[in-house]
C-alpha cells in the first residue's frame, strides 16, 4: 500500500470512530434547562430571581455578599468584593506590595481606604497581573514618585493603545464602538440593583476617571527580583483574556499570586465579542502554576486556597475542564459535527462539573464550542444545504406562512412557554419580531420569554443579555447600537479616525464618485486623505505618494475633526465658525463628500471607560 493511500485509510478509520454524539443521554429528555429540564429558581439578597445553583455555588469561590478582607496567611491580605477583581496586599518590613488597583481612580480610593484599615505603611511597590485592573494606582501611590510599578514588558504599550482606541478591543478596531456597546450589555449596565431583574454576580461595569501609573520595572519571563526584601519570580509567557499577564511566585513563602484560575471556567468566548482566546495558552498558564506546587494560592479572580494538595486538586480539575471542552470540540469536528451540534453536545462530565471552579457562573460552556469551531474552520458546517440560505427575513416570512400565519406561530410559542421550552418559544416568537419589530404583542411576549431564560441562566453574561433585552423590549431601558469614541480620543489621533471613517461609506450615495479628500491636521499631526473611488474609500497615509491629486483639502484641528466624525457638526457649520478652512475646493464640495458617509446615530450616547475586560 502506498504511503498516501495508507494515510487516507487511517484518516477514514479515525473518522469512523466518531459515529455518535460527544455526550450520550436520553434522546427523549429535554436538552437543557432552557428546554424544560428541571431547575430551581431562588431569590438573592437583593431580590434577584436567579438559578438556585448560583446562590449555593458561587459563594464557594467568589465574594458575592459585599467587600471582605481575608488574611489567608501571615502578612498577606486579599481584598475581595470591592470591585470586579480582587486586590492582593503583601505586608513587608519596608512597606506594602499591592497587586492590581481596580478599574478606575474611584476603585483606587476604595482599595486604599480598605488597606488603611489594617496597615498604615506606605505602598512602595505595585504589580499589575494584567491590563484590566491597573487604573487606581495613581491614587494609591499617595504622591510617591519613586514607587515601583512592575508588570509585563508590553503593559504600557497595551494600556496606551486601549486608552486611545475608539472602543473595546476588537480584531478590526473600526468596529470597537459596537463591542463597547455590547460590553455595557454584558456587564449589567442596564439592569437594576434590586428586584427580580437585578444583577447579582460581581460583574457590574465601572465608568470613571482613570489614574494609571506607567510601568517602571518591566519583567521578563522567569526573572527574579528582590522587592522590598521579598524574593519574587515573574512569569510572563502565558495569558488568559489578554496577553500581558504576570504570574508571581514567592519561593520562600511557597505562594503564587495569579490571574490564571478564575472562579468560573475560562471564558473562551465572551458575548460582547473579542479577540480569540486560545484554550491551549490558558491551559499552559494554569499548568505552570500547578507545577510550582504552591502551598498558598491567591489571585484576582477567586478566594484564597491554602494547602498543597487542595491547590493541586483544584488546578487539576480546572485543567481537565479546559482540556475536556477543547478536546471534545475538536473530537466533534473530526466526527463531522457543526458548530450548532457542538453547542449542545459538549457537556462536562459530572465529576468535573461538580468542582466549584468549573461552575458556569460567568460564561456558559455552550458558548465555547461554536467559537472554537468558527476560529478553526469558519462559518461553513460542511452541509452543502446551508451554503445558500434565504435571508433571515425571508426565512421568517416563509416559516410563519408554513406554520399557518402569525396567530398560529404566537399560539405555538405560548404553548412552548407553558411547557417551559423557553428556547423554542424564543425562536418562534423571534420570527414574528423579525417580520414586525413594532408588533407590541410579539415584543412583550418575547420579553417574557427572555426573562425566564435569564432567570434560569447560571452565567452572568447570558443573564445580563437576556434580562437587559427584555427590559428594552418593554421600553424600560434604551440599549445603544454602539458607543461613540470620546471626542478627546479622536482629536488625540485624528489620522487613525480618518482611516476608520472609510468603512462608513454608503455605496448608494457615492455612486460614480472619484474624488480625493485631504485632511491637513494642525499641530503635530500630519495630512492624510481618503480617495473616494465609487463604492470604496481608500485611506491615504501619504497623499503625496498617491497617483491622484487632491480634489478637496480641509485644514482643521483634531477637535474639529472629532465633531465631523461624530456627526455633531457639518463641514459648512465649522467653516462658518472658523474651525475648518477649505484650502482646495469649496465648502459645498467638502460637505458633499463627507455626506457620502454614514452619520453617527447611536440610539443613546454613553461615555465609557476605554478599557474593558471580561
The answer, yes or no, to whether residue 295 has pLDDT greater than 90, is yes
Residue 205 banded pLDDT, cuts 50, 70, 90:
low
- Does residue 248 fall inside a structural domain? yes
Per-residue pLDDT of 443-471, as tens digits, reads 999 999 999 999 999 999 999 999 999 99
CB 134 within 8 A of CB 212: yes
The reply to whether 133 falls in a domain is yes
Predicted TM-score (pTM) of the model is: 0.89
- 14 has a pLDDT exceeding 70: no
The pair phi, psi for residue 36, each rounded to 5°, is 105, 0
Q: Residue 189 has which C-alpha cell? A: 449596565
- How confident is the model over 281-290, as a mean pLDDT? 96
What contacts 527, CB < 8 A, 6 or more positions away? 518, 519, 520, 521, 543
238: in domain: yes
Fill in the DSSP letter of residue 505: B
Residue 76 belongs to a domain: yes
The lowest-confidence range among 7-11, 92-96, 138-142 is 7-11
pLDDT digits (tens, 9 = 90+) for 381-402: 999 999 999 999 999 999 999 9
Q: What is the mean pLDDT of residues 162-179?
A: 81
- Which domain-ending residue is among 265, 290, 306? 306
Q: How far is CA 104 from CA 68, 210, 503, in A?
A: 19, 5, 32
Asked whether residue 436 is domain-assigned, the answer is no
DSSP 102: B
Whether 203 and 188 have beta carbons less than 8 Å apart is answered as yes
User: What domain range includes position 92?
Assistant: 61-171+202-306
The x, y and z cell numbers of residue 604, run together, are 443613546
Read off φ and ψ for residue 355, nearest 5 degrees. Answer: -70, 130
Confidence of residue 297 (pLDDT cuts 50, 70, 90): very high
What are 464-505's pLDDT values in tens digits? 999 999 999 999 999 988 888 889 999 999 999 999 999 999
Average pLDDT value for residue range 40-66 = 95
**Mean local confidence (pLDDT), 343-359:** 95
Of 276, 306, 336, the last residue of a domain is: 306
For residue 15, pLDDT beyond 50: no
183 located within any domain:
no
Alpha-carbon distance of 25 to 535, in angstroms, equals 52
pLDDT at 610 over 80: no
Per-residue confidence band for 166, with pLDDT thresholds at 50, 70 and 90 = confident
Contact (Cβ atoms closer than 8 angstroms) between residue 399 and residue 431: yes
SS3 string, 445-465, reads: HHHHHHHHHHHHCCCHHHHHH
Q: Determine whether 297 is exposed, middle or buried from the number of CB atoms within 10 Å of its CB (0-12, 13-18, 19+).
A: buried
Number of structural domains, the chain? 2
* Cα 248–Cα 254–Cα 260 angle in degrees, nearest 5: 40
User: Would 158 be classed as within a structural domain?
Assistant: yes
Q: 577 lies in a domain?
A: yes
**Radius of gyration in angstroms for the set of CA atoms belonging to the chain, rounded to a whole number:** 27
pLDDT at 606: 39
For residue 524, the domain's CATH number is 3.30.1050.10
pLDDT at 111 over 70: yes
| pLDDT interval class at 201 (50, 70, 90) | confident
How do beta strands 76-80 and 87-92 pair? antiparallel
Q: What is the CATH number of the domain that holds 121?
A: 3.60.15.30
- Pairing between β-strand 95-99 and β-strand 123-127 as defined by DSSP bridges: parallel
CA distance 550 to 527: 11
Sign of CA dihedral 299, 303, 304, 307: negative
Q: For position 203, what pLDDT does the model report?
A: 65
Measured from the Cβ of residue 526, the count of other Cβ atoms closer than 10 Å reads: 13
Domain boundary among 306, 339, 373: 306
Per residue in 77-105, pLDDT (tens digit) is 999 998 888 999 999 999 999 999 998 89
Mean of the per-residue pLDDT values for the chain?
91
Amino acid at each position: 500500500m502506498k504511503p498516501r493511500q495508507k494515510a487516507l485509510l487511517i484518516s477514514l478509520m479515525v473518522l469512523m470512530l466518531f459515529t455518535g454524539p460527544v455526550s450520550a443521554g436520553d434522546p427523549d429528555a429535554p436538552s437543557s434547562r432552557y428546554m424544560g429540564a428541571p431547575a430551581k429558581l431562588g431569590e438573592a439578597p437583593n431580590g434577584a430571581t436567579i438559578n438556585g445553583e448560583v446562590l449555593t455555588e458561587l459563594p464557594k469561590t467568589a465574594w458575592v455578599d459585599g467587600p471582605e478582607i481575608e488574611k489567608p496567611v501571615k502578612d498577606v491580605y486579599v481584598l475581595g468584593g470591592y470591585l470586579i477583581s480582587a486586590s492582593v496586599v503583601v505586608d513587608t518590613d519596608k512597606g506594602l506590595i499591592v497587586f492590581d488597583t481596580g478599574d478606575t481612580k474611584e476603585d483606587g480610593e476604595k482599595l486604599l481606604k480598605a488597606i488603611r484599615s489594617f496597615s498604615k505603611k506606605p505602598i512602595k511597590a505595585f504589580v499589575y497581573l494584567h491590563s484590566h485592573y491597573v487604573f487606581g494606582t495613581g491614587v494609591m501611590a499617595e504622591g510617591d514618585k519613586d514607587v515601583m510599578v512592575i508588570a509585563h514588558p508590553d503593559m504600557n504599550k497595551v494600556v496606551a493603545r486601549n486608552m486611545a482606541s475608539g472602543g473595546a478591543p476588537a480584531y478590526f478596531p473600526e468596529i470597537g464602538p459596537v463591542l463597547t456597546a455590547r460590553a455595557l450589555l454584558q456587564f449589567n449596565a442596564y439592569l437594576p440593583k434590586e428586584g427580580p431583574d437585578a444583577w447579582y454576580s460581581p460583574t457590574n461595569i465601572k465608568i470613571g476617571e482613570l489614574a494609571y501609573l506607567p510601568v517602571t520595572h518591566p519583567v521578563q519571563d522567569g526573572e527574579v527580583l528582590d522587592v522590598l526584601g521579598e524574593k519574587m519570580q515573574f512569569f510572563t509567557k502565558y495569558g488568559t483574556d489578554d496577553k500581558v499577564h504576570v504570574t508571581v511566585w514567592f519561593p520562600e513563602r511557597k505562594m503564587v499570586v495569579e490571574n490564571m484560575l478564575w472562579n468560573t471556567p475560562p471564558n473562551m468566548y465572551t458575548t460582547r465579542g473579542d479577540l480569540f482566546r486560545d484554550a491551549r495558552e490558558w491551559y499552559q498558564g494554569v499548568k505552570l502554576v500547578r507545577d510550582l506546587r504552591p502551598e498558598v494560592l491567591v489571585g484576582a479572580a477567586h478566594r484564597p486556597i491554602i494547602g498543597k494538595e487542595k491547590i493541586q486538586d483544584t488546578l487539576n480539575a480546572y485543567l481537565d475542564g479546559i482540556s475536556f471542552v477543547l478536546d471534545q470540540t475538536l473530537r466533534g469536528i473530526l466526527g463531522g459535527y457543526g458548530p450548532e451540534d457542538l453547542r449542545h453536545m459538549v457537556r462536562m462530565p459530572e465529576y468535573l462539573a461538580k468542582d466549584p471552579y468549573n461552575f458556569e457562573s460567568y460564561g456558559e460552556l455552550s458558548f465555547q464550542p461554536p467559537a472554537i469551531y468558527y476560529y478553526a474552520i469558519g462559518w461553513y458546517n460542511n452541509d452543502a444545504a446551508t451554503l445558500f440560505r434565504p435571508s433571515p427575513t425571508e426565512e421568517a416570512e416563509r416559516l410563519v406562512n408554513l406554520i399557518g400565519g402569525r396567530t398560529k406561530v404566537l399560539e405555538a410559542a405560548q404553548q412552548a412557554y407553558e411547557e417551559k421550552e423557553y428556547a423554542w418559544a424564543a425562536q418562534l416568537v423571534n420570527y414574528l419580531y423579525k417580520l414586525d419589530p413594532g408588533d407590541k404583542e410579539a415584543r412583550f411576549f418575547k420579553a417574557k420569554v427572555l426573562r425566564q431564560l435569564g432567570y434560569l441562566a447560571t452565567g452572568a453574561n447570558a443573564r445580563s443579555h437576556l434580562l437587559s433585552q427584555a427590559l428594552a423590549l418593554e421600553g424600560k431601558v434604551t440599549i445603544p447600537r454602539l458607543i461613540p469614541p470620546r471626542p478627546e480620543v479622536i482629536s488625540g489621533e485624528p489620522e487613525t479616525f480618518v482611516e476608520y471613517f472609510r468603512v462608513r461609506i454608503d455605496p448608494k450615495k457615492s455612486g460614480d464618485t472619484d474624488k480625493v479628500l485631504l485632511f491637513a491636521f494642525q499641530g503635530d499631526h500630519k495630512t492624510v486623505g481618503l480617495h473616494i473611488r465609487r463604492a470604496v474609500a481608500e485611506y491615504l497615509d501619504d497623499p503625496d505618494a498617491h497617483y491622484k491629486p487632491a480634489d478637496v483639502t480641509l485644514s482643521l484641528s483634531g477637535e474639529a475633526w472629532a465633531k465631523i466624525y461624530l456627526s455633531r457638526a457639518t463641514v459648512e457649520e465649522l467653516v462658518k465658525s472658523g474651525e475648518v478652512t477649505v484650502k482646495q475646493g469649496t465648502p459645498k464640495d467638502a460637505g458633499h463628500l463627507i455626506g457620502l458617509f454614514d452619520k453617527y446615530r447611536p440610539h443613546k450616547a454613553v461615555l465609557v471607560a476605554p478599557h474593558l475586560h471580561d
